[in-house]
Amino acid sequence: MKKNICGIQQVGIGVKDAGAAWKWYRRAFGMDINVFEDTATAKLMLHYTNGKQCDRYAALAMNMEGGGGFEIWQHTSMEPKAPVFDVQLGDCGIFICKMKCRDIQKAYARHQEEGFDLVGSLSYDPQGNKHYYLRDPYNNLFEVVEDQHCFMKQKSVTGGVAGVVIGVSDIDEARKVYSDILQYDQLVYDKTGQFEDLASLPGGAEKYRRVLLKHQPRTGPFSRLLGPTQIELIQPLERTPRKIFQDRIWGELGYIHLCFDIMGMDLLQKECEQKGFPFTVNSANSFDMGTAAGHFSYISDPDGTPIEFVETHKLPVIEKLGLFINLKGRDPKKSLPDWMLKTLRFNRVKN
């Protein structure tokens, strides 16, 4: 038996005001499903918080179209800081969150019509696919990409998270994590040069190596909801990249981690240790996040970017009625029935 990576569960976003941010993400991306909310002390994250325990609020929001979610994360015992320098494309860490949509023209027109901060215009990636960038009010960049996978049609013009763009210092080293451990082993393109579609981004006119990776179809309890995703690695070739979280701690402003829903945590731990990327955080057995429960851990990529793994044990469906999805003892490669996953829609939050 091997570990099973079921998909991107969420991208963590550090913000100053979680309520305001979540409202914006509902409006822009339809991230209106409240999977859980929790207020507590992050006691286990010492590796990424300079050895200090931090009080925090966290909420997991999703979109029933499918795709990963957002973990909207706010420090409550300190004022979170923005990057200490002007971050550019290729600086080490998660730089862009990719959002999926079924109709790129419609999504672009809607975001343009509603006055969102579009960065550049609709353009083509090196494979010839249309995409565009926009910025949230907190200086986080998003890329909207077309993807026909749809779990459940919604009114929003986008679905959930379709992947990320990560800055690295050495793509070949980074792939030891992203292609080997995380199984993004399908190479879509590997291009070097200056790219017209990146020109509107900070530092986008420079020369880069740019690699887009995909994966084989995922299996597991939430795989049909989470769907296919992609990771794009960007390496600057004309400067030494800086770490986005230089002189800051995990949970401060920006993209704080990339999280995968997995089955087989013990097997994954052994594999990561054997391949030189031991767990930096390990909750052991079961943690509680309000009404959700599971086992979580972290590794760091070669540049220190945090990668989270969550093995879900329990998930609320209708908390007031005491209805939960219990995942213990289930076949790790079998998807939950669609009707069961669709009950998450009862946790919708409206603006």
Band of residue 322 on the pLDDT scale cut at 50, 70, 90: low
Alpha helices in the chain (DSSP H): 18-29, 104-113, 171-175, 223-226, 265-274, 338-342
Give pLDDT, residue 1: 62
Write phi, then psi, for 161 (nearest 5 degrees): -70, 130
Band of residue 284 on the pLDDT scale cut at 50, 70, 90: confident
pTM value is 0.94
CB 300 within 8 A of CB 93: no
Query: Is pLDDT above 80 for 225?
Result: yes
Band of residue 34 on the pLDDT scale cut at 50, 70, 90: very high
Average pLDDT, stretch 338-351?
89
Band of residue 17 on the pLDDT scale cut at 50, 70, 90: very high
Q: Which of 166-170, 274-278, 290-294 has the lowest mean pLDDT?
A: 290-294
Give the number of other Cβ atoms within 10 Å of residue 31's Cβ. 27
Give pLDDT, residue 316: 63
Average pLDDT, stretch 35-62?
93
Who contacts 255 (Cβ-Cβ below 8 Å, separation ≥6)? Answer: 11, 12, 13, 14, 93, 94, 95, 97, 140, 164, 244
Query: Is pLDDT above 90 for 278?
Result: yes
Q: How far is CA 127 from the centre of its chain?
A: 23
Architecture, CATH, for domain 4-343: Roll (3.10)
Which residue reads 């909420």 in tokens? 59
Query: Is pLDDT above 60 for 129?
Result: yes
Q: Please report the DSSP string for 97-166 in residue order.
A: EEEEES-HHHHHHHHHHTT-EEEEEEEE-TTS-EEEEEE-TTS-EEEEEE----SS--SSS--SEEEEEE
Helix (H) / strand (E) containing 351: none
- Grouping H, G, I as helix, E, B as strand and the rest as coil, residue 262 is strand
Report residue 97 as tokens.
Answer: 């969150």
Query: Is pLDDT above 70 for 310?
Result: yes
Query: Is pLDDT above 90 for 288?
Result: no
Residue 245: exposure state from Cβ atoms within 10 A (0-12, 13-18, ≥19): buried
- Say what the alpha-carbon torsion angle 12, 13, 14, 16 is, to the nearest 10 degrees: -140
For the chain, first and last CA: distance in Å?
45
